[in-house]
């Protein structure tokens, strides 16, 4: 199998983390071809990828979330062991951009770090694109600063509002938010977490995902949305005056280059960059919690979200390689790429009951839809 990864923002180190072998270009993207070692166990009995004598051919195109992309890439490498004639192209321009391609019929699978929006689903419907939504893992959005920043260890939702919220426009020094913190404290108390002001007298440089990213949407919904609703606001997008990028490498480098920086990114990318950046504890009203696989899985870390893949039912009927690939993705061997440890993609696996629910959705919705309904 040929795996072509057109990653918008993977460094060579991140490419290795995503289980792709190949050289990186100067802009941080990668394009490579890999032949995987044979898969040996874990696939379900219905998975054509491991059925003796089965030989698939053709191609698959996956686009969408840069957060989910490393999972899909790792699964694709394992899937390729028994399917060397299936070429899989995987890219990560962002959840929103991925859905735009998916709903126009360009892709077989859309990786997503948030559920599809109503407007996106309507675009799919207009183009005759029906889909199957499959939850595949859990991520904890990490609030980060530079590794050398020792002044800040924990921030509450209230802190994040006065530093990153819509009213934070122009606050280019941490101390610029001190007055706003006192005003917000008078309105909400510590219901949204303890305030950590007075903030230091230090430049505040923000680097974070842009609006095309599901990571942006999730942060807005979980953090900004919670504070905004308490304040009875209808709009609560973050301050617009920050360096926004769909490229996780740009975000990591922007955070690490400024000692008193602030931003957010997916958990897996933090785990791969702990030599450069520092994840902060977050308090949503129940105390400061560090993002770890354990706290995310337990629901203790307050900025957690589900990760998804969306499968086109039209492509499923037309493309004989698509069904077996998703079968393998959801098999024991496929989901084994997710977790903590060498060679794994460091997100949180689904609980057993949730994984079985996902498999049940896939089974129920694919009856009679493959190979033209055969």
Q: What is the CATH number of the domain that holds 167?
A: 3.40.190.10
CA distance 29 to 11: 7
- For residue 30, the model assigns a pLDDT of 33
Q: What is the pLDDT of residues 287-322, one digit of tens each?
A: 999 999 899 988 899 999 999 999 999 999 999 999
Is there a single domain that holds both residue 158 and residue 283? yes
Q: Which residues of the chain register pLDDT less than 50?
A: 5-53, 372-374
Is there a single domain that holds both residue 162 and residue 276? yes
Is there a single domain that holds both residue 127 and residue 194? no
Is there a single domain that holds both residue 242 and residue 314? no
Query: The domain containing residue 330 runs over which residues?
Result: 3-137+307-373
- For residue 19, the model assigns a pLDDT of 33
- For residue 349, the model assigns a pLDDT of 95
Is there a single domain that holds both residue 184 and residue 250? yes
Q: How many domains does the chain have?
A: 2
CB 199 within 8 A of CB 164: no
Last residue of a domain, one of 267, 302, 337: 302
- For residue 247, the model assigns a pLDDT of 85
Is there a single domain that holds both residue 319 and residue 239? no
Is there a single domain that holds both residue 240 and residue 360? no
- For residue 341, the model assigns a pLDDT of 81
Burial zone of 192 (CB within 10 Å; 0-12 exposed, 13-18 middle, 19+ buried):
buried
Last residue of a domain, one of 302, 325, 355: 302
Is there a single domain that holds both residue 316 and residue 291? no
CA distance 139 to 95: 14
CA distance 346 to 1: 24
CA distance 101 to 105: 6
pTM of the model as a whole: 0.79
Is there a single domain that holds both residue 133 and residue 157? no
Last residue of a domain, one of 259, 277, 302: 302
Is there a single domain that holds both residue 59 and residue 195? no
Is there a single domain that holds both residue 169 and residue 294? yes
Structure tokens at 121: 């689903």
Is there a single domain that holds both residue 355 and residue 228? no
- For residue 370, the model assigns a pLDDT of 66
């Amino acid at each position: 199998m040929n795996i072509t990864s057109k990653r918008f923002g993977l460094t060579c180190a991140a490419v290795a983390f995503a289980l792709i072998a190949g050289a990186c270009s100067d802009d941080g993207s990668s394009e490579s071809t890999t032949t995987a070692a044979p898969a040996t166990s874990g696939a379900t009995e219905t998975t054509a990828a491991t059925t003796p004598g089965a030989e698939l051919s053709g191609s698959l195109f996956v686009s969408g979330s840069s957060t989910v992309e490393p999972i899909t890439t790792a699964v694709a490498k394992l899937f390729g062991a028994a399917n060397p004639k299936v070429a899989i192209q995987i890219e990560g321009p962002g959840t929103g951009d991925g859905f735009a391609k998916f709903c126009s019929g360009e892709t077989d699978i859309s990786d997503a770090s948030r559920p599809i929006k109503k407007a996106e689903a309507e675009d799919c419907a207009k183009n005759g694109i029906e889909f199957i939504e499959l939850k595949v893992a859990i991520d904890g959005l990490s609030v980060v600063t530079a590794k050398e920043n020792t002044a800040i260890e924990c921030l509450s939702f209230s802190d994040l509002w006065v530093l990153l919220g819509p009213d934070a426009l122009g606050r280019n020094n941490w101390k610029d938010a001190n007055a706003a913190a006192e005003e917000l404290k008078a309105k909400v108390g510590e219901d949204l977490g303890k305030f950590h002001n007075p903030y230091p007298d230090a430049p505040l440089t923000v680097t974070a995902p842009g609006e095309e990213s599901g990571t942006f949407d999730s942060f807005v919904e979980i953090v900004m949305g919670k504070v905004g609703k308490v304040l009875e606001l209808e709009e609560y997008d973050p301050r617009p005056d920050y360096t926004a990028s769909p490229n996780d490498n740009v975000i990591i480098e922007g955070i690490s280059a400024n000692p008193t920086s602030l931003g957010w990114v997916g958990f897996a990318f933090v785990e791969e960059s702990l030599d450069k950046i520092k994840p902060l504890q977050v308090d949503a009203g129940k105390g400061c919690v560090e993002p770890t696989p354990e706290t995310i899985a337990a629901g203790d870390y307050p900025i957690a979200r589900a990760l998804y893949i969306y499968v086109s039912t039209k492509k499923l009927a037309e493309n004989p390689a698509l069904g077996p690939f998703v079968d393998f993705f959801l098999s024991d061997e496929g989901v084994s790429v997710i977790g903590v440890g060498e060679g794994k993609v460091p997100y949180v696996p689904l609980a057993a009951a949730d994984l079985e629910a996902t498999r049940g959705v896939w089974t129920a919705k694919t009856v009679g839809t493959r190979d033209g309904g055969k």
